A and B are shown apart, each in its own frame.
Chain A
Amino acid sequence: MALHIVNRSPYRSSALRDCLNTMAEGDALLLIEDGVYAASASAQAGAMPAGTYCLGADADARGVSVSDAIARIDDARWVALCVEHTPVVSWF
């Protein structure tokens, strides 16, 4: 299963939309940097698929409270995700 990483705000870039349109069933999605704005509880970016993660440090930096449906992770877990998934695809 692939891991998709999005680091752009969904309101300013098509990266998240392109990623969601391309992701296969069962792929994981990780929101980092400005991508975390899509993880906020009040996000208008539409529902995230199951298996969506968000880098906690980037969310905290931006004062984003992550929705319950999305798992907050740290760098160590990020590395684990990269190891568990092939390929890792960046969307920016």
Chain B
Amino acid sequence: MSTHTLALCRQAPYGSALAREGLEAVLAAAAMDQAPDVLFLGDGVFQLTADQAPQEIGQKSLYRNLQALPMFGVERIYVCRQSLADRGISTESIAVPGIEVELVTDPGALLARYQHVLSF
């Protein structure tokens, strides 16, 4: 786990390519043993909802890609508590198998700890 780089994921899945691009960037970096930490904030928390079934819009499930993170060494993700509350998402409903979800109440303080923040 790195205290060097953080991927800030703020976009909902499927509506734009940013969510998937962010996840692929994290997986690519992790494959090179440069795994960034990941913070889901704002609409980014929608990426964590379990029952995604995008076959009919011709897309692969982003949630399933999330489950690849532990295999690449990313075993913990940060999730903004306020963003969940704002969207009526319960903390239990965003469990990702194999990944520890750490709820963050002060994302600003978390951001400040990193050298580089990649925004998606």
Contact = CB atoms under 8 A, between A and B. Distances in A.
B78 to A, nearest CB: 12
Nearest to A25: B108
B90 interface: no
Contacts of A1: 112
Interface residues of A, number: 16
Contact of A18 (B42, B106, B115, B116): B42
Interface string B90-120: 0000000000000000111101101111010
Given A18-B41, A91-B119, A24 B10 contact: no
Given A2-B111, A14-B42, A27-B108, A21 B82 contact: yes
Nearest to B18: A92
A40 B41 CA distance: 28
Nearest to A90: B119
Contact of A22 (B6, B107, B115, B116): B107
Nearest to A14: B42
B79 interface: no
A86 B115 CA distance: 6
Given A22-B108, A87-B6, 4 more contacts: A2-B108, A18-B41, A87-B115, A92-B119
Interface of B: 6, 8, 10, 41-43, 82, 106-109, 111-112, 114-117, 119
20 contacts: A1-B112, A2-B108, A2-B111, A2-B117, A14-B43, A18-B41, A21-B82, A22-B111, A24-B108, A24-B111, A24-B112, A27-B108, A86-B115, A87-B111, A87-B114, A87-B115, A89-B8, A89-B117, A90-B117, A91-B10
